[in-house]
Amino acid sequence: MAGAPAMELSSLRPLSNLSPHSCFAAAGSSLFATRGSAPAVSRTGCRFRAPRAAGAGHRGLALERRRRQFWVDERESGAEEGRGEPSSYSADDDDDDDDDDDDEAPLLSLSEKPDRSVALLDDYEMEELDYASNPDHRSGYVAVLGKPNVGKSTIANQMIGQKLSIVTDKPQTTRHRILGICSGPEYQMILYDTPGVIEKKMHKLDSMMMSNVRSAAINADCIDEVLEEGIRDLKNKVPTLLVMNKKDLIKPGEIAKKLQWYEKFTDVDDVIPVSAKYGHGVEDVKDWILSKLPLGPAYYPKDIVSEHPERFFVAEIVREKIFMQYRNEVPYASQVNVVSYKTRPNAKDFIQVEIVVEKNSQKIIMIGKQGRALKLLATAARLDIEDFLQKKVYLEIEVKVKENWRQDEGLLKYYGYGGQIRAL
Ligand SMILES: Nc1nc2c(ncn2[C@@H]2O[C@H](COP(=O)(O)OP(=O)(O)OP(=O)(O)O)[C@@H](O)[C@H]2O)c(=O)[nH]1
């Protein structure tokens, strides 16, 4: 069937006694709305946590300790940096000198689901957030799976209420699993937005991305019919929702027919039509997930929206701008690395980014005549990064060529496609 874009949302263990709706203030979600205890956000803005309240220092340390358990320090696995002839552009209003250096950041694992016993809040946090007195609290992992461009990132962002995953009109924008945490007073759902499932793998990059998708599916005990063998036996154990997205593009009379078709010819538990871009139906999806989430305490403090470090999002923002500005092969041949991120007490943060492309011809396109294209890119990226970080930054971008990086397993691992990214 020439179906509407569809994706599957699967969550951990089913549970029958539900308390839907109780946790959501909003009926009919609005775009990027802020929630209860969540910190202020802007269009692309996400705070990893709300500004700490007085006395919350312990909690910060506890979180730090817990995070470190997910970090894998294996810098030796990184490929050597080929230093070509860089072309760079610095996007800044004025100039600053740098001081502190944090380049010794360890790696953060993206492929492992934190074990509940590891990720659990410590006693101080339990007491502070009063979890012990709330036996009805629900929490669990949800994998967002589906083909490229169906709107997985859009719906994940909508549910979290903040733009964590980049969204473009080009397929296969999402390359990593993006973990987003959506919390309410009585629940916490941890969403894994995954790259679109592709069957035809052109590069090693595609294979490594798909292996991370499979791992997200396994971690959430769920299955997508387009995924390969090895996880099929998990079916039946996990509630699966098929989200029929972009219903705004379907004629009203067709929606009912498509729903019937999906219900009849797929194994999913439910089908919900939504229009993620406009927020329609997103609350229904949230309610469905809530109805399936197991009872249990939160995995993370409620004001945390992601485990990813800031530099991960900085690279993603630059990548989004590349997808928006350049055509054809160039965005797909580009890898963005934050090579240095320096916070300075009396000056703007200093961020050095390298864009790696595969051919010199791509580098020429990326830079443009008299560097105009790169300047445009750097300025657009800087503005969004500042919006995201809620502070001014000095951004320097270099373009380098590394032939066939998409086929180089060592480099791909170094760039985070082996399931690890550098922590800040
Ligand atoms: N008309 C319409 N467009 C939508 C809707 N949801 C998402 N889109 C658009 O579809 C495109 C792809 O959205 P994404 O959220 O990036 O899709 P994705 O599934 O994460 O894409 P991949 O990165 O390829 O896996 C973007 O241009 C979105 O604006 C919707 O409900 N209606």
- In one-letter notation, the amino acid at residue 81 is E
Pocket test for ligand 1, best of 153, 157, 198, 255 (most atoms within 8 A of CB): 153
Atom of ligand 1 nearest to the CA of 274: 31
Q: Domain limits of the chain?
A: 112-292, 310-422
Q: How far, in Å, are 279, 287, 343 from residue 177 at the CA level?
A: 22, 23, 26
Supply the residue whose CA is at minimum distance from atom 27 of ligand 1: 169
Q: Could you tell me the two tokens for 103?
A: 């380049």
β partners of residue 9: 144, 241
Supply the residue whose CA is at minimum distance from atom 1 of ligand 1: 246
What is the helix (H) or strand (E) element at residue 240, kind and residue range?
strand 240-244
Q: Could you tell me the two tokens for 157?
A: 């962002």
Per-residue pLDDT of the chain (424 residues; tens, 9 = 90+): 444 455 555 433 222 222 221 111 111 121 111 222 222 222 233 334 332 333 333 333 334 333 333 332 222 233 333 333 346 666 665 544 444 444 444 444 444 455 554 455 566 656 655 555 678 888 888 888 777 888 888 888 888 877 777 676 766 666 666 678 888 888 888 887 777 666 565 677 777 776 666 666 655 533 343 333 333 444 456 788 888 888 899 888 888 888 888 888 877 788 888 999 999 999 999 999 999 888 888 877 777 777 777 888 899 899 999 999 998 889 999 999 988 988 888 889 999 999 999 999 999 999 999 999 999 999 999 999 998 888 899 999 999 999 988 888 888 887 777 655 444 3
- In one-letter notation, the amino acid at residue 296 is G
The beta strands (E) that lie in 23-99 are given as 71-72, 87-91
The model carries a pTM of 0.64
Supply the residue whose CA is at minimum distance from atom 4 of ligand 1: 277
Question: Do 71 and 112 touch, CB atoms closer than 8 A?
Answer: no
Q: In the CATH scheme, what is the homologous superfamily, with its name and number, of domain 112-292?
A: P-loop containing nucleotide triphosphate hydrolases (3.40.50.300)
CB atoms within 10 A of CB 211: 14
Which CATH topology does 310-422 take? Answer: GMP Synthetase; Chain A, domain 3 (3.30.300)
Q: Rounded distance, CA 350 to CA 340, Å?
A: 8
Pocket of ligand 1 (CB under 6 A): 146, 148-154, 167-169, 171-174, 195-196, 245-246, 248-249, 275-277
CB atoms within 10 A of CB 148: 15
Q: Taken in order 36, 41, 44, 46, is the CA torsion positive or negative?
A: negative
